[in-house]
Amino acid sequence: MGVPLELFTTLGSTILGGILKIWGMKNETQRLQMGLLLQNRESEQKGFKAAREYRNSRFEITRQIIALASIFAIIVLPKLAAIFWPDIPITVGWSEFHPGFLFVPDKSVIVWKSIQGGFVLTPLDTNLVSAIVGLYLGASTVGSR
């Protein structure tokens, strides 16, 4: 008694049909997954676009007032006082960093200096201007004014 050849054909075609069905389902799953990823990406782009185009005039005005008040109080006023009233001592302070071994901070101190009768640029002036320039450059990078 032998095994009929049709049994091998049926068994082979069943296995091949199952493999092809699994492969098709895998491809369909990948297609759906890519569609969802593209849909998610589109919704993210809409959110990014809305954030870039968002304008809040109160925030912009508040930011400008803070920047101008800081520049006037910390930079302009001490310079004007030193020019117009040279006999009045002006005290300014800034932090100084004293590095230790491998740039680990040994100590960071605030230094207070009294300036009398002259026009002086301190590290505080350059730090403040750098911070304000960074604020505006950072805001302009993301599309804000």
Contacts of 64 (CB under 8 A, 6+ apart): none
Assess whether 8 and 31 both reside in one domain: yes
Q: What is the residue-wise DSSP string for 58-69?
A: HHHHHHHHHHHH
Euclidean distance between CA atoms 46 and 32, whole angstroms: 21
Assess whether 79 and 108 both reside in one domain: yes
Amino acid at 52: R
Per-residue pLDDT reduced to its tens digit, 43-69: 999 888 887 777 777 877 888 888 888
Please state the domain count of the chain: 2
Assess whether 79 and 133 both reside in one domain: yes
Assess whether 86 and 131 both reside in one domain: yes
Per-residue pLDDT reduced to its tens digit, 111-142: 777 766 666 677 777 777 787 777 777 666 66
Q: Write down which residue in 54, 71, 94 finishes a domain.
A: 54
Assess whether 81 and 133 both reside in one domain: yes
Question: CB-based burial of residue 144 (10 Å sphere; 0-12 exposed, 13-18 middle, 19+ buried)?
Answer: middle
Q: Which domain holds residue 19?
A: 1-54
Assess whether 22 and 87 both reside in one domain: no
Q: Is the dihedral of CA 114, 119, 122, 126 positive or negative?
A: positive
Assess whether 62 and 114 both reside in one domain: yes
Assess whether 69 and 122 both reside in one domain: yes
Assess whether 31 and 74 both reside in one domain: no
pTM summary value: 0.40
Band of residue 83 on the pLDDT scale cut at 50, 70, 90: confident
Assess whether 69 and 24 both reside in one domain: no
Assess whether 66 and 126 both reside in one domain: yes
Q: Is the dihedral of CA 17, 19, 21, 24 positive or negative?
A: negative
Assess whether 3 and 19 both reside in one domain: yes
